[in-house]
Structures are given as C-alpha cells and as structure tokens.
Structure 1
Amino acid sequence: MSGFHNIRVSMMGDMTVLLCSDKADEVKEVVQTKCWWCSLFEKVVPWSPELITNHRVTWLRCYGVPIHAW
C-alpha cells in the first residue's frame, strides 16, 4: 500500500470497517487495487446510507476483578 499514507480505517461494528481519506478519490484508487484487498477483506463495497450494522465491538477495562471471575 505504498503511496497511500492518508487512508484511515474506522471500525463500524459487525466486522465492518470504513476507509476514508482527506484526499479526493484516494479511497477509490486504493479499492481499485482489488488483488491487494482480497487477502484482507471478504468483500469491498462503496459506502451507502443503507449499510447498517447490527452489532458493535466494545472494549472494557476492568480493575480489581479476579481473573477466575470471568
């Protein structure tokens, strides 16, 4: 992915990510290199308002809880 230093990856939930960039058309250019993306993602589709995720990933940091309590 050399040359694409402005691409940001944001978790959307339900194993879905959003690729964004401040440079116009940079994401389109990266997505067109499908050979590279096929090794990382199941499928790559353009974002649309209809793309809705039903699950979210949540990280918790708990202090003082014994490991066997999990």
Structure 2
Amino acid sequence: MYAVIDRFEGSFAICQKDDGEMINIEKSRIPFYAKEGDVLSLSKDKVIIDQDETGRRKTKIEGITKDLWE
C-alpha cells in the first residue's frame, strides 16, 4: 500500500492513501529525512520512502503545472 505525505502535525505525518483516505503515521516510524510529497510504501513491519514512485509523481506533476505558468 502507498501513501503520500501531505503534512506534518506534531508527532505525526498526515498522509493520503491512494484511495483518498487520510491516515496518521507516527514520525518515529518513517525515515527522519522524509518530507512532504514523499511516497511511502507501507507494510505491517516498516515504512520506507519509495524513491522511484516519488520521482515519477513529481515529474508528472511538474509536467501538468508547467503549462499553467507559461
């Protein structure tokens, strides 16, 4: 399952799953260098940043928004 970090509030990362559901993940469970927009791969035992998926989504968003500013 994947979730994107929307924001940080206190000791939680507020994340949006692919189905749109918002979930709270304790900061202590995610890598300390995680930032807003990172895609997390979630399993029972661990949470990791999926660098490939984060990059794909960032590139897609940049392509969409590029036309807005030109």
With normalisation by structure 1, the TM-score equals 0.25
Question: Which has more helix, going by share of residues?
Answer: 2
Structure having greater relative contact order (Cα 8 Å, sep ≥ 6):
1
